[in-house]
Amino acid sequence: MEQLQYQEGRTEIGQLGKVALIDRLTDEFKTKNKSTVTGVGDDAAVLGTGASKTLVTTQTLVEGVHFDMMYTPLKHLGYKALAVAISNIAAMNGQPRQALVSVAMSNRYSVEAMEELYAGLRLCCERYDVDLVGGETTTSRAGLVITVTVVGQVDKEKLAYRSGAGLHDLIFVSGDLGSAYCGLLILEREKVTYQANPNFQPDLEGFDYVLERFLKPEPRMDIVKLLAEKEVVPTAMTDVSKGLADSLLHLCKASGCGCEVYEEHLPIDYQTARVCSEMSKNMLPVSCALNGGEDYELLFTVNQRDYDKIKDLKEVHIIGHITEQGMPAVMVTPQNTTIELRAQGFQGVRE
């Protein structure tokens, strides 16, 4: 019988890293269907031969990796599982239309638990006009794994890839950054205290905003709508799921350019700053913004001629500009020091 383990020439996934792994695994796949416009490597695949393109994306959340049942209400989890997949459609400047949901769960989960999960999914479906059209429930040996596929639609001329940023384009980001990660930090802190003393009543008061940011993120479909209203098509776009640094690096790599963003322009909520100061003196809000994750904001670039159309929108913030090919992605501090960005992004609770 063939055994699983390869003792010889074994390379740990961690040695290679997730991005390099998927590059290596998919390197030899060639696309040949004329309906395949773009495949692996952006927030969603782009399909179809007409002027209206179909977008497809899939996103998996794993118990103990992306969520902890200790502090994740199942209704929130269902909502979030769909929300983060919709965010990938938003990141292409598209509209979500349909979803397929596959749930693998151990026998620890009851019918009532599944109903909670699906209540959250339904809420998100209703909020974002998404139709549930398929999927399955299946058994797992341990824990809960949810995979959501979302199908979306976008007109060809509105499509925003990661790869379209041009020299001197302006870099915008929606909402604020780092708050979801701070929500996670609070939940993890209270969990540790609770585990040490089960009579302890967790104190989550005053943290509503950061907790909601982590437990129940909203895909920024409102930004997609605003951009359409202002008749602005981003030259490039992606969502911020693993920290701003990671998203900027992906966008710059895909577009073949560098960038400069300004620390003092990064949008950071006061609650994020408060959590950081409570946690540790060494913890800087800007680190949460750059390397925290799960914000699901939109990062996009626009041509300078579009600046006036969106400069007054309170929902988006200009944070920098694109520099030429060969230049690094950097952040400029208020002291005018230049720091090269690296991807240290967290990838879920424990990943």
Instruction: Indicate whether 167 belongs to the interface with its own copies (CB under 8 A).
Output: no
Nearer to its own copies, 141 or 305 (CB): 141
Which residues inside 87-106 make contact with its own copies, applying CB under 8 A? 97-98, 100, 102, 104-105
73 CB-contact burial (10 Å; exposed 0-12 / middle 13-18 / buried 19+): middle
Q: Which amino acid is at 313?
A: L
Would you count residue 139 as binding its own copies (CB under 8 A)? yes
Q: Please, are residues 214 and 188 in contact by the beta-carbon 8 Å criterion?
A: no
Neighbours of 9 (CB within 10 A): 5
Positions 5 through 24 that interact with its own copies (CB under 8 A)? 5-6, 9-16, 18, 21-22, 24
Choose between 29 and 196: whose C-beta lies nearer to its own copies.
29
51 binds its own copies (CB under 8 A): no
Q: Is 64 an interacting residue with respect to its own copies (CB under 8 A)? A: yes
- Pick between residue 224 and residue 289 the one whose CB is nearest to its own copies: 224
Measured from the CB atom, the residue of 138 and 338 that comes closer to its own copies is 138
Q: For residue 344, which amino acid is it?
A: Q
Nearest-approach distance from CB 295 to its own copies, in angstroms = 18
Sheet strand arrangement including 95-105: 36-38, 45-47, 52-62, 144-155, 95-105, 131-139
**How far apart are the C-alpha atoms of 345 and 348, rounded to whole Å?**
9
Candidates 51, 111, 192, 196; binder of its own copies (CB under 8 A) is 111
When asked if residue 156 is in the footprint of its own copies (CB under 8 A), the reply is no
Rg, C-alpha atoms of the chain: 21
Alpha-carbon gap, residue 303 to 301, rounded angstroms: 7
**118 counts as binding its own copies under rule CB under 8 A:** yes
Q: Is 208 in the site for its own copies (CB under 8 A)?
A: no
Angle 327-331-337 (CA atoms, 0-180°, nearest 5)? Answer: 100
Q: Given candidates 93, 147, 247, 271, which one binds its own copies under the rule CB under 8 A?
A: 147
Which of these segments, 60-68, 165-173, 206-214, 276-284, binds its own copies (CB under 8 A)? Answer: 60-68
